[in-house]
């Protein structure tokens, strides 16, 4: 039997390179993709360390996955052999309440590639052609993995109903926060970023943020009063840090009648009071995955409105995944985004 190499998290803290059967196309999974690159996301790290509450084990992880179409079945109409594509990570049932109301990203029977079913840390995948989207011409495979976190940002800003007169606080400007900034600034809103790393804050300012707060050195309550009109507080806050204290902090400093968007999967208890929410009549909204946002992200790239070129800080070959995860755990200040590559 023909086999391929894959990276599997057997259980928390145990990563293995395994052999698995070569996938073959069928009526449903009518496209065979040779994976060329797959990103390491915070949720992948959470699965590895056992802190992602959604994951099941053992699991071939990886949901930021791009590659080349090498075979198609007769029912495939959207792509052809040789096309460079990114694969949607969301699979849904199509008939539950969420699906019927246009929100398959939170389907009752949601199965996310790389979380609930095997994902992209492998040499080949068979998927439906409808889950494939053509990559922009000239965009390198390793840079193209950033399309997926860009869709997460588009989803969050959509859930937030961001407006030009908003004063937005983005908490955390790592890989997700950087992509959030790239989408939020398209609205014309004022944007404040907060992090603990000066270099990341400076990069955010260079990328279009109006103000930056170093949480390790500055008092966020004081700086928010200084940077928002009439010391009102943010009218929209987006939690891209997802630390134990981040949600409570955002609720505390939020302006009246504002929105707070959560994007993380931490199960660590945090202190939140009814008074903090009710007294300001806040909207606390979760934003999970993305709801058919891939083409929108790709259109923004093709139109020159966002730039993903050379935004990857480090690459490792797929079979050196353990080394890549260990390096990520080192918290080296040079890390922005790590990508696993295949030939």
The pLDDT tens digits for 247-264 are 999 999 999 999 999 998
Which residues of the chain does CATH 3.40.50.720 include?
151-286
Tell me which H or E stretch contains 10: strand 3-11
**What pLDDT is recorded for position 173?**
96
Measure the CA–CA gap between 122 and 7, rounded to whole angstroms: 6
Mean pLDDT of 167-194: 97
Mean pLDDT of 75-93: 97
Measure the CA–CA gap between 55 and 112, rounded to whole angstroms: 9
pLDDT digits (tens, 9 = 90+) for 154-178: 999 999 999 999 999 999 999 999 9
Mean pLDDT of 113-122: 97
Structure tokens at 148: 């997926």
Which residues of the chain does CATH 3.90.180.10 include?
3-146+308-341
**What pLDDT is recorded for position 266?**
81
Q: In which residue are the tokens 């020159």 written?
A: 304
Confidence of residue 268 (pLDDT cuts 50, 70, 90): confident
CATH topology of domain 151-286: Rossmann fold (3.40.50)
**What pLDDT is recorded for position 298?**
98
Specify the CATH superfamily of domain 3-146+308-341.
Medium-chain alcohol dehydrogenases, catalytic domain (3.90.180.10)
Per-position b or e across 150-177, b if 16+ CB within 10 A of its CB: bbbbbbbbebbebeeebbbbbbbbbbbb
Mean pLDDT of 179-194: 98
- Answer yes or no: is pLDDT of 265 > 90: no
Q: Are 153 and 176 in contact (CB under 8 A)?
A: yes
**What pLDDT is recorded for position 234?**
98
Q: Are 126 and 23 in contact (CB under 8 A)?
A: yes
- Answer yes or no: is pLDDT of 343 > 80: no
CA 14 to mean position of chain CA atoms:
23
């Amino acid at each position: 039997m023909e086999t391929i190499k894959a990276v599997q998290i057997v259980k928390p803290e145990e990563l293995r390179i395994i052999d698995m059967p070569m996938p073959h196309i069928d009526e449903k999974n009518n496209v065979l993709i040779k994976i060329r690159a797959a990103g390491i996301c915070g949720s992948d790290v959470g699965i590895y360390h056992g802190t992602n509450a959604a994951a099941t084990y053992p699991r071939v992880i990886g949901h930021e996955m791009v590659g080349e179409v090498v075979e198609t079945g007769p029912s495939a109409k959207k792509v052809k052999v040789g096309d460079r594509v990114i694969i949607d990570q969301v699979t849904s049932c199509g008939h539950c309440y969420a699906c019927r109301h246009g929100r398959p990203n939170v389907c009752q029977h949601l199965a996310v590639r790389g979380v609930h079913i095997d994902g992209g840390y492998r040499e080949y995948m068979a998927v439906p052609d409808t889950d494939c989207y053509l990559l922009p011409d000239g965009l390198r495979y390793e840079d193209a993995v950033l399309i997926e976190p860009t869709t997460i940002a588009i989803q969050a800003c959509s859930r937030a109903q961001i407006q030009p007169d908003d004063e937005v606080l983005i908490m955390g400007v790592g890989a997700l926060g950087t992509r959030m900034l790239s989408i939020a600034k398209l609205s014309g809103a004022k944007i404040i970023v907060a992090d603990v790393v000066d270099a990341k804050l400076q990069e955010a300012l260079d990328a279009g943020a109006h103000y930056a707060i170093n949480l390790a050195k500055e008092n966020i309550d004081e700086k928010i009063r200084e940077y928002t009109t009439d010391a009102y507080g943010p009218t929209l806050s987006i939690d891209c840090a997802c630390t134990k204290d981040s949600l409570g902090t955002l609720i505390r400093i939020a302006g009246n009648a504002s929105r707070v968007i959560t994007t993380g999967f931490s199960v660590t208890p945090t202190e939140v009071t009814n008074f903090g929410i009710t007294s300001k009549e806040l909207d606390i909204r979760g934003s999970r995955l993305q709801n058919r946002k891939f083409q929108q992200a790709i259109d923004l790239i093709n139109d020159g409105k966002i730039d993903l070129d050379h935004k990857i800080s480090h690459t490792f070959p797929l079979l050196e995944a353990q080394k890549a995860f260990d390096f990520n755990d080192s918290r080296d200040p040079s890390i922005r985004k790590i990508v696993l590559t295949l030939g």
